[in-house]
Homo-oligomer: A and B are copies of this chain.
Amino acid sequence: MGKIKYELLKKDEETKARYGLLHTNYGTFETPIFMPVGTLATVKTLSPEELKDIKCSVILSNTYHLWLRPGEDIVESAGGLHKFMNYDGPILTDSGGFQVFSLANPKDISEEGVKFKSHIDGASLFLTPEKSIAIQNKLDSDIAMSFDECPPASADYNYMKNSIERTLRWAKRGKDVHKNINQSLFGIVQGGAYKDLREFSAKETVKLDFDGYSIGGVANDGESKEDMYKAIDYSIPYLPENKPRYLMGVGEPIDIIEGVIRGIDMFDCVLPTRLARHGNVFTKDGRINIRNAKYKDDFTKIEDCDCYTCKHYTKAYIRHLIVSNESFGARLLSIHNIRFLVKLMEEIRENIKNGTLLEYRKEFIERYYGNKKL
């Protein structure tokens, strides 16, 4: 069918939240949605069947990592990322920008692109907007992202202004070489917490007419929640209603809820799988760490949940696996943690449909965060 199509089905009356459908070549999913991360063409420890079991409808994969291993040509020869990894649901790829900027020396950022060293063998590499798009074209994800500059949270106004102008030029260069007619391409709005820069970036990016828009620069180290919410609030008014909006790198439950309330449709984060590997578990009443000694003889399930893990395994057993570094433990907790966020999105959508999203937020915060400062 070609590009994705976003169908707006309901606008919340009290907030900017939207309920909709995103139609893709690999199926239709409801939004707002959370996408778990499968960096290297695998959502760590999980099979595609397990992702489906927990009703995960779309995943994200990382262009930078796949470029290095196994290489985009191998994925292309396999028939694209879906076939390569045996996953027939929709896949979004990032541009590699976020990883590359975290590896690059500021002096190695030029108008042409970014020079940096491979995290695997230290080899000198160069990534440009054209190269990022060419790689993503070959990966054949359903949604590709424009290659953007990811300025640090601490960037001052002038740095940020120059940066968003460059990101716009890079967005255009990427769009000009984007060739995969079955792949959609998103533009990225940057501008930190500066109102006028977000407005400028959003308006100019929309002029380039992408298939969707992402709000970037909100998941950097040192970014405050206030700045994240400002970044969204300052950008959303200038994004078209008929295109999906994606907040990159955000997976903390409250941030997802606040993002939805501000008009976001899509989220991704490594949080559920990374937490799982360290024994951290999402529960309805807040996050727990299963390594805690009090769980060593706790033969109850994590919570009342419909996932495979909660159906069959006790906290004591999972604790034993995590403490013993057995990967089946990370697998069981990844299943539960992703299911938790997928269910959070189900509840959010239900509350948008019922017009009760603000009550849901209140109830969720009291239950999940209690007296913790957010």
Identify A86's interface contact among B74, B297, B313, CB under 8 A. B313
Cross-chain contact B320 with A41 (CB below 8 angstroms) = yes
- Among A16-24, A43-51, A236-244, the stretch that binds chain B is A43-51
**Which chain B residue shows the least CB distance to A77?**
B297
> Is A299 positioned at the interface, with any CB of B under 8 Å from its CB?
yes
Give the residue of B85, B86, B299, B326 whose beta carbon is less than 8 angstroms from that of A78. B299
A218 within 8 A of B: no
Is B78 touching A42 in the complex (CB atoms < 8 A)?
Answer: no
Per-position 1/0 for A302-317, Cβ under 8 A of B: 0000000000111011
A127 within 8 A of B: no
User: Complex formed: what's the CA distance from A330 to B326 in Å?
Assistant: 12
A84 in complex: contacting residue of B40, B45, B78, B317, CB < 8 Å:
B317
Q: Cβ of A78 and Cβ of B44 under 8 Å apart? A: no
Q: How far is the CA of A44 from the CA of B316 in the complex (A)?
A: 18
In this complex, which of A70, A78, A323 has the most chain B Cβ atoms within 10 angstroms of its Cβ? A70
In-complex Cβ contact of A320 among B40, B46, B297 (8 A): B40
A292 lies within 8 A of chain B by Cβ: no
B41 contacts A327, CB within 8 Å? no
Judged by a CB distance under 8 angstroms, whether A287 is at the interface is: no
Do A78 and B317 have beta carbons less than 8 Å apart? yes
Q: Are B327 and A44 in contact (CB under 8 A)?
A: yes
B-facing mask of A32-68, CB < 8 A → 1, else 0?
0000000011101111000000000000000000000
Alpha-carbon distance A316/B41, docked complex (angstroms)? 12
Most chain B Cβ neighbours within 10 Å, of A41, A84, A328: A328
Sort chain A's interface into a size bin: 35 or more
Q: Does A354 lie at the interface of the complex (its beta carbon under 8 Å from any beta carbon of B)? A: no
Residue of B nearest to A328 (CB): B42
Task: Type the 1/0 row for A75-98, where 1 means its CB is closer than 8 Å to any CB of B.
Answer: 001110000111000000000000
> Interface on A for B, CB 8 Å cutoff?
40-42, 44-47, 69-70, 74, 77-79, 84-86, 296-297, 299, 312-314, 316-317, 319-321, 323-324, 326-331
29 contacts between A and B (CB under 8 A): A40-B320, A40-B324, A40-B326, A41-B320, A42-B328, A44-B326, A45-B327, A45-B328, A46-B328, A47-B328, A69-B320, A69-B324, A70-B316, A70-B320, A77-B297, A77-B299, A78-B299, A78-B316, A78-B317, A79-B299, A84-B314, A84-B316, A84-B317, A85-B317, A86-B312, A86-B313, A327-B327, A327-B330, A327-B331
Task: Given A40-B320, A45-B331, A70-B320, output 17 extra A-B contacts at Cβ < 8 Å.
Answer: A40-B326, A42-B326, A42-B329, A44-B326, A44-B327, A69-B323, A69-B324, A70-B316, A70-B319, A74-B297, A74-B320, A77-B299, A78-B317, A84-B314, A84-B316, A84-B317, A327-B331
